[in-house]
Structure 1
Amino acid sequence: MGLVIRTYLSRLNLLLVSRIATLVVLVVFLVSFLSLVGYQLGFSTGMTITFFPMIIIAWTIERMSILWEEEGPREVVTQGGGSLFVAVLAYLLMQLPLSGHLSFNFPELNLIILAIIMLMGQYTGYKLSDCVALEP
């Protein structure tokens, strides 16, 4: 739904900040609607969504829309699926009792994770996708 709304917004030729703000408001409405439908179906977890994930959803919609225009729908599905896989994997990892114990009792370990992430961001050598794409 977000990509359909974003496609309509691109026809209005809004500036970036206005487009993102509009997307945030529309995502709030969409999440509210889905939360109400979920509540009517007996799911109460949708009522606890905070504002921060809505911002992330709006930025994701914006980025996927730009990617759709530049690279096409196949790349959107590939990157969106990869992002969803990583998010589910991270969620499952965070649900482990050991990870909860370590992160709450030893918050300085997050600095080590930050350092690893920054090192991975600097790496410009071969990636797994480069090895798979090589032909004999």
Structure 2
Amino acid sequence: IALAFIQTTLPTGLIGFLLIVAVGLIIRNYLSYLNLLLVARVSAVIITVIAIISIFTVLAYRMGLSAGLTITFFPMIILAWTIERMSILWEEEGPKQVLIQGGGSLITAVLAYLAMNNPWVRHITFNFLGVQLILMALILLLGNYTGYRLLELRRFKPIIDDEKPS
């Protein structure tokens, strides 16, 4: 999504992303009444995303908005899975969680966009490929960490206090 923002510019990309996901969620809500299997449902959402992007592109062209034509750079499969995940989350957790998690994903995409557009970051990552390997090693280390988090110490403090002799 961040790469699509680079092609579309950030404001156009944000508007396009929000429009596609909003319309996709409305259509996905209808698909849930059909009780389709997962593969059929996701296939229908992918086709829907393609149709939404096509319609928005034609409308932008007819209205003379050349920036709207760049919406075709959005990754259709990722948008379809985003809509599917948000729809399931809406059914299970409610709209508040959809806004929280969807907003978090959007903030992450914007931060990635800003990092990719930074000339210094672009210079370091393209000219020194070993930096990417170091970043991957750090991510793998963080992914394997199973120790206590600092929040756990505060969470279990009342238990420790109860066990101490007075």
What is the TM-score with the length of structure 2 in the denominator? 0.67
Pairs within 5 Å for 1:54-133: 54-124=76-146, 125-126=148-149
Distance 2:45 2:106 in 1: 20
Pairs within 5 Å for 1:43-58: 43-44=66-67, 46-47=69-70, 49-50=72-73, 53-58=75-80
Matched, 1:2 2:24: yes
How many residues are paired up? Answer: 130
Distance 1:41 1:117 in 2: 44
- CA-to-aligned-CA distance 1:35-59 (integer Å, 9 cap, x gap): 23333333246336347x1111100
Q: Which structure has the larger Rg over C-alpha atoms?
A: 2
- Partner secondary structure for residue 137 of structure 2: helix
Question: Do the aligned residues in 1 keep the contact of 2:56 with 2:68 (CA within 8 Å)?
Answer: no
Question: Which structure 2 residue ranges, 5 or more long, are not aligned?
Answer: 1-22, 156-166
CA gap of 1:107–1:76, structure 2 versus 1, over 3 A, is: same
Identity %: 50
Distance 1:7 1:108 in 2: 45
- Partner secondary structure for residue 35 of structure 2: coil
Distance 2:149 2:57 in 1: 43
Higher-RCO chain (CA-CA 8 Å, sequence separation at least 6): 2
C-alpha RMSD of matched pairs (Å): 2.4
Q: Which moved more, 1:108-117 or 1:18-27?
A: 108-117
**TM-superposed deviation, 1:92:** 0.4
**Which 4+ residue blocks in structure 1 deviate beyond 6 angstroms?**
none
- Partner secondary structure for residue 13 of structure 1: coil
Question: Do the aligned residues in 1 keep the contact of 2:53 with 2:71 (CA within 8 Å)?
Answer: no
What is the TM-score with the length of structure 1 in the denominator? 0.80
